[in-house]
Structure 1
Amino acid sequence: MSAIPRTVSRVLRTPARARARAVASPLRPSSPIAIITAIRTAQTEAAPSALKTPPPPSFQNAHAPQTPSSKPATPTQATTDLSTHPLIQTLRRDPTLKETRPHLTMPAHLRPAHFVAGTLSGETKLTSAPYMFLSHQTPSHQAPPQAQRSEETDSAPRQSRAITVFHAGRDMCGHPGYIHGGFLSVMFDEVFAHCVSQSFRSGTGMTANLNVDFRKPALPGRVYVLRAETVKVEGRKAWVEGTMRMMPAARTGGEEEGVLVAEARALFIEPKFAESMVPVYRN
């Protein structure tokens, strides 16, 4: 019984270098010297390292949201006063067009969940609610004299067109300095849907297919004009075509000075359950 205390006392008096050699040398697992020396050496060396070494980053910490910059982003002139753009002033003088800002007139409870009006809206993204000008035309063979119009004729599908003006901020890029093509495609789809809403009795159409041809790079911080027109309506189907132009940085000149950045065409279908859907695109 007295052998163990003497062994412990001997170990405590042994210099640290000697204890290190003892740990490095192969000792029998049952040796009291090996056991006690290993325990004390591990405790002495592990305690400081536990205090100095930070824990490894977890997946959650590595992807934690970064602290926003203390300097807020400054809205561009287009964000605060897009209505003064010469193009919008020209469109307002056209008596055949009806001006609207559908994302602002959308029911408030729908706006946060809407991809364009909610997710893409922001001072560095889609910097302000787009301006939209709508015009619908009834084909001549469907336009009898006023006295002969019936309820069925008045509700007949109509061809329509839409012109939208919007500003794209700096956070809508794919490659740095160039607007993401997916954003342009979304804007085509959004405006096309508004356009065909005039061609369906229910006021609702869903995208069956959308084809976009990109012509020139689109730049952030610019004003864009998107023109759409229903070129054919057959029952619950409507075909739409459109172009998108990037306006010059300086607010001078007309639309003809804009750069054609993309063209698109799409097929929309009025769903059979359209009457049960929320009428987001009715105007």
Structure 2
Amino acid sequence: MKKLLLYLTMLSILSIWSCEEPATLLPSISGCTDEFSFNYHPDANEDDGSCMPMHGCLGWVGGYSKSGQIISSLGHAAYDQKFWKEVAIQRAFFQQIPAQVSILLEPEPELKNAYASSDGQIRFGYYMFWDILDQYGELPVASILAHEWGHRTQFHSNWNDYNQPAHMELEADAFSGFYLFLAKRWAWSQIQDVYQALMDFGDYNFNHPQHHGTPNERYAAARLGVELGKYAVENERQFSYKELHDIFIEQIRTQIKPRSLEEKPVEYSEITFPEGVTDEEVRKLFPRE
């Protein structure tokens, strides 16, 4: 009898469960599920492989949820003037390398960045500008813009002999160092701030497609550009962009990039600008095609 009652009770429970409505299934929504992509789709629950990553400084894409927007001002008249003056200086230095520079308001401070693209654009982030200025100073801001102009040089020249993406980034650091030595000697007291910023931005994500180089590698790449700038002044040597590329990429491949994970502190002697050299003489050393 007890067994019969137990059986009937279980049957009753099962009948109750069978009457419940089935769980509602969420509709499948395809899209980019990576929140660090320009085209991130917050409602997507199925990644469709369309993500356009925001990491790194190459290839800004407009018109998407996290593209940000182009603005006309940094919100500070004095720094607007300084920024556009710096753009003019770099345009004169990177002669024959076209670039349309604009200020990009990133979607949020955590996504601060600066970008260069193959279609001739340089987007300098609003939050990037103020963060670098607050932490490091004005010359590091100029170094980032020159890094992006280095990328524009790569795009414009159609160089494709990079063994890995980090080589492009380190070469852009070298172009930046070359620019700083030749065009910004009046601000040379801030060069250590540039080196510190580069080391702080270095990473050890060797397998990531946007790996920019380790702290020491980025420092060494910038120093490579600075040292070549000093050589150019001392020897009255004007380099072509191709000549600079050949020197930079060879040194990056053989001397800078082949490093172990455990980096030792790198110490370099201070580099000073040769005396008695006029601005006009230096301008004749700006790179050419």
Q: Does TM-score exceed 0.5, indicating one fold?
A: no
Structure with the bigger percentage of strand: 1
The TM-score with structure 2 as length reference comes to 0.29
Greater Rg by CA: 1
Structure with the bigger percentage of helix: 2
